[in-house]
Structure formats: C-alpha cells, structure tokens
Amino acid sequence: MNNFGQRALTGAVFVGVIVTLTLINQLTFLGLILLIGAGCLYEFYKITNEKSLTLVHYLGIITGLCIIAGKYWFKNIEMLIFSSVLFSLLAIIILFSKDKNWKTLAYTFAGIFYIAVPLLVFYISCFHRIGSGFMVITQKIYNPLLALNLFILIWCSDTFAYLCGRAFGKHPLFPAISPKKTWEGFFGGLLLTIAASYILALWFGLNPIYNLIVGFITVIFGSVGDLIESMLKRQYNVKDSGTMLPGHGGFLDRFDALLIALPFNCVVYYYLYF
C-alpha cells in the first residue's frame, strides 16, 4: 500500500472511531479522551526522555489519566483536592526514585499540564446546563455535538491550511520552527474554517456567534499549538511524535492543535452558555 492509501485508510478509521465514541454516550467519550491522553503523554515522555520510559514516566501517564477521569466522580472543589494530592504523591515518588532530579520532575509535570489538563477542560466543556435560577434544580447534560463540533473544526483548520499552503503558499509563517507552513495557508485555513464553523452551527443547532468565535480561536491557537509541538520535535530532532497512526505520525502530531486551542475555546463557551 502506498503512502497516500495508508494515510487515507488510517484517516478514515481514525475519524470513524472518534465520531462513534463521541456520539454513543458520556462514558465512551471519556474513554476516547483517556485514549488520546494516554497516547499523547506516552509520546511526550518518550521524546523528552530520549530513550525508553521509566517507572516515573508511566506514573506520570497514570496521574494525568486519573486527573481526567476524576471529573466523572468529583465536583469542582473535590477535583482540585484530588488533583493536588495526586501531584504531591507523584513529586514524593520522584524524590525517592532513581530518576530523582529537577529535570525529571519538571518534564513529568509539564506533560500533565500540557496534555491532561486541556483534555480535562475539554471533557468538562462538553456538558450544557438544564435549568437556572434560584430554587430551580440544574443538571449538566452531555452534549456530543459540542465535542464533535470542535473535532471537526480542528480537522478543517489542518486540512484547509494544508491545501491552501500547497496551492498558494509562498511566504513562510515561522521558518525557524516549521519552514513548510505559510501565511497563505494560515489565512486560507482561517477563512475556510470560519465559513465551516457557521455551517456547523446551523447543522448542530449551536449559537452561530459562539461558533464563529470558536472557529477563529481554533485556527489561531491551533496553529500556535502545532508550532509548539514542532518546536519540541525540532529540539529533540524527531520527525514525528510517534508511529501509532501509520501515515499520520503519532497522537501528539494529530492533537497538538487541540491541546492549545481548548482552554481558549472553553473561555468563550462558558461566557456564552453560563
């Protein structure tokens, strides 16, 4: 199978799995987020450690996944306490491990804040509130369309920027980090993704103003997220973050834009919906 066929097959399975797990229910979506988190954390630690992972790194992965999953059981204050305890325990374990140094501690914590925390925010933001006001019971209901909307906008941003860059690209966007990205690709991706965000708002029954802002933020900060991951790979001289997705690289290659765009999108979400 040639590279294009491999990319197409992997892409079709990849999209199918994400859409299916997102649409079934809250638990399958949480499982999807945990799968993404595990893959991204594994690749991040493998890159930064420059060799096979140690026990500390696997404990970092488990800690990150526990922080994400903890939101299923804990409320806001309880979640903060739970996360603080996990961070403290991980720091103590690193202190008494054979890898006890500040670099290990810093990179282990950095992976959790870079990957697990944004994914936790993503999970939280995919619920909308039913009922409001004093003496009215409120419920938070899982809305798969909020999650699917963001996934599609990320895919649109990546695809449109790539196609516009291939067709019209002449001026490098950030040559020191990613010489193939161009301003033409960036602005083409921006305009087409904003148009797609309006169509998705009508299709999914979302607030059009909200989705236009989300589309704009997704392209701006998604591009930053892609550059940040490129900076990481350039520093450690690796081409792809991993090989888990044949023809597409690794999990971190596919979700780098999502990790940086998520917190900013969630600010808009909470402002408009709460």
Q: Integer distance in angstroms from the first to the last C-alpha of the chain?
A: 49
For 55-110, the pLDDT digits (tens) are 889 999 999 999 998 887 877 778 778 888 888 888 888 888 877 778 888 899 99
pLDDT of the residue at 153 = 92
In this structure, how many other beta carbons lie within 10 angstroms of the beta carbon of residue 171? 11
Q: Is the dihedral of CA 101, 106, 111, 113 positive or negative?
A: positive
pLDDT of the residue at 81 = 83
In this structure, how many other beta carbons lie within 10 angstroms of the beta carbon of residue 236? 13
d(CA 191, CA 100): 48
d(CA 190, CA 167): 15
Token pair for residue 222?
């998604």
pLDDT of the residue at 138 = 46
89-96 long-range contacts, CB within 8 A, separation 24+: 89/63, 90/59, 90/60, 90/63, 93/56, 93/59, 94/56
212 CB-side CA count, 13 A = 6
* Cβ contact 219:189 at 8 Å: yes
Return the closest-CA partner of residue 115 out of 226, 238, 252, 21. Answer: 252
With tokens 């081409």, the residue in question is 239
Q: What is the mean pLDDT of each run of 10 residues along the chain (274 residues)?
A: 63 88 94 94 90 86 91 77 86 83 86 92 78 50 89 90 87 83 90 95 90 91 90 87 72 88 76 60
| Prediction pTM value | 0.88
pLDDT of the residue at 169 = 79
Q: What phi and psi, each to the nearest 5 degrees, are found at residue 73?
A: -110, -30
Largest CA distance in the chain: 62
d(CA 187, CA 4): 26
User: What amino acid occupies position 147?
Assistant: A
Residue 31 burial (C-beta neighbours within 10 Å; 0-12, 13-18, 19+)? middle
pLDDT of the residue at 137 = 43
With tokens 């900076």, the residue in question is 231
pLDDT of the residue at 177 = 84
